[in-house]
Amino acid sequence: DLDDWDKDEL
Partner 1 sequence: MNVFRILGDVSHLLAMIILLLKIWRSKSCAGISGKSQILFALVFTTRYLDLLTNFISIYNTVMKIIFLACSYTTVYMIYGKYRNTFDSENDSFRLEFLLVPVTGLSFLENYNFTPLEILWTFSIYLESVAILPQLFMISKTGEAETITTHYLFFLGLYRTLYLANWIWRYHTESFYDQIAVVSGVVQTIFYCDFFYLYVTKVLKGKKLSLP
Write out the residues near partner 1 by the rule CB under 8 A: 1-2, 5, 7-10
Q: Which amino acid is at 1?
A: D
Counting every residue written for the chain, the total comes to: 10
CB of 3 to partner 1, least distance (A): 9
- Least distance CB 5 / partner 1 (angstroms): 5
Q: What is the DSSP string of 1-10?
A: -GGG------
Neighbouring CB atoms inside 10 A of 3's CB total: 5
Closest distance of CB 8 from partner 1, Å:
5
